[in-house]
Amino acid sequence: MRINKLEIEYGNTTGNISNKGLVAVKDGWIYYTNFGDKKSLYKIRTDGTGCKKLNNAESTCINVSGEWVYYKNENSLEGRIFKIKTDGTEEQEINKNYCEYINIEGEWIYYKNETKDGKLYKMRTDGTKRKKLNDDECYYIIVSGEWIYYQNAGDDHKLYKIKINGKDRQKLNDDYAYGINVTDDWIYFENSLSDSNLYKIRTDGTEKQKIGDDIFNWINVSDGWIYYSNDGDRDTLYKIRTNGTDRKKISNDNCSHIHVTGNWIYYIKEENRKFNGVSVKSKVLYKIKTDGSDNQPVDNGTYNFYYDI
């Protein structure tokens, strides 16, 4: 018998995974990619204390489940999946493929297998029982309950879903869907066929609705709000309700890779910083409350040299 959905532990939220999984929060700790230290994995308490480095690897696609942090190790051959205890011990490789869009649901890892032409795979969290689930080239893979949602590059980037056992593959629409988020039986996505405006559709493919006319990037849906980078306003940070009302600007910062946990938004800001007297283009992880207050760098101002994500 399958465990009730409410009892399953997920390694990160669908919005954070869609935004590259640079931040995950569990039990009062923030686990994050530190651009000030070559994209190494760090943790820090949500009150800003107890900062600790966990590894020496370029780490993205972060998920935290049980006593383990799972991540893509970009220093390893072809970007393989690793895990490490939350205290920084027992780091180990758990697969031999180049992976993206890592989702942890219970005892399973779901991911895009770049070594196998971008197909959808799953395996146990110990690396065993690896299985291919489809023959599509997948992007924006999101696991929610019994279903996996994804953009199918082989069908002009349209929205599909398939069951977690690899059965009942279904096409959901004819739009060019980016930035997929899934919550409360709705799928949210940027529609590039409609000037990257924001849409939502039921998880069964019905009731397609337009939410906003901005050029939406890096969307993250949380607690009835959609947080996004507004390309029409210098990539600054906005929010709008999931019904399309109460559109508000939160910050004048340029932002990308928007992550949301509780009442905090985490995002990457590009800025120039001085290092040894030289101006360096930097990527800095900031956080700001969802009401627009308490804007601050997560790593207390560490120089964050420019790295691609």
- Residue 7: the pLDDT is 66
The rounded radius of gyration (Å) of the Cα atoms in the chain is 19
End-to-end alpha-carbon separation of the chain, Å?
A: 39
CA angle 4, 143, 72 (to 5 degrees): 120
How far apart, in whole angstroms, are the C-alpha atoms of residue 99 and residue 118? 8
Question: pLDDT band for position 1 (50/70/90)?
Answer: very low
- Of 298, 245, 292, which is closest to residue 267 (Cα–Cα)? 298
- Residue 298: the pLDDT is 83
Residue range 47-55: mean pLDDT, rounded: 92
Indicate the pairing of strand 99-105 with strand 92-93: unpaired
- Residue 47: the pLDDT is 86
Q: Are 286 and 296 in contact (CB under 8 A)?
A: yes
- Which sign, positive or negative, has the C-alpha torsion 304, 47, 68, 119? negative
- Tell me the pLDDT tens digit for each residue of 98-148: 899 999 999 999 999 999 899 999 999 999 999 999 999 999 999 999 999
Q: Is the pLDDT of residue 227 over 90?
A: yes
210-234 residues labelled b (16+ CB within 10 A) or e (exposed): ebbebbbbbbbbbeebbbbbbbeee
Q: Is 27 exposed, middle or buried (0-12, 13-18, 19+ CB in 10 A)?
A: exposed
31-58 residues labelled b (16+ CB within 10 A) or e (exposed): bbbbbbbebbbbbbeeeeeeeeebbebb
Question: pLDDT band for position 79 (50/70/90)?
Answer: confident
Sheet with 186-191: strands ordered across: 177-183, 186-191, 197-202, 209-212
- Residue 143: the pLDDT is 97
- Of 31, 85, 96, 17, which is closest to residue 59 (Cα–Cα)? 31
Q: Is the pLDDT of residue 239 over 90?
A: yes
Query: Other CB atoms closer than 10 Å to residue 83's CB: what's the count?
Result: 23
Domains defined for the chain, CATH in brackets = 8-221 (2.120.10.30)
Q: Is the pLDDT of residue 308 over 80?
A: no
What's this model's pTM, rounded to 2 decimal places?
A: 0.92
Q: Is the pLDDT of residue 97 over 50?
A: yes
Tokens of 111: 């991911």
Q: Are 184 and 168 in contact (CB under 8 A)?
A: no
How far apart, in whole angstroms, are the C-alpha atoms of residue 173 and residue 78? 33
How far apart, in whole angstroms, are the C-alpha atoms of residue 201 and residue 210? 9
Lowest-pLDDT range of 150-164, 190-204, 236-250, 288-302: 288-302
- Residue 4: the pLDDT is 45
How far apart, in whole angstroms, are the C-alpha atoms of residue 309 and residue 269? 12
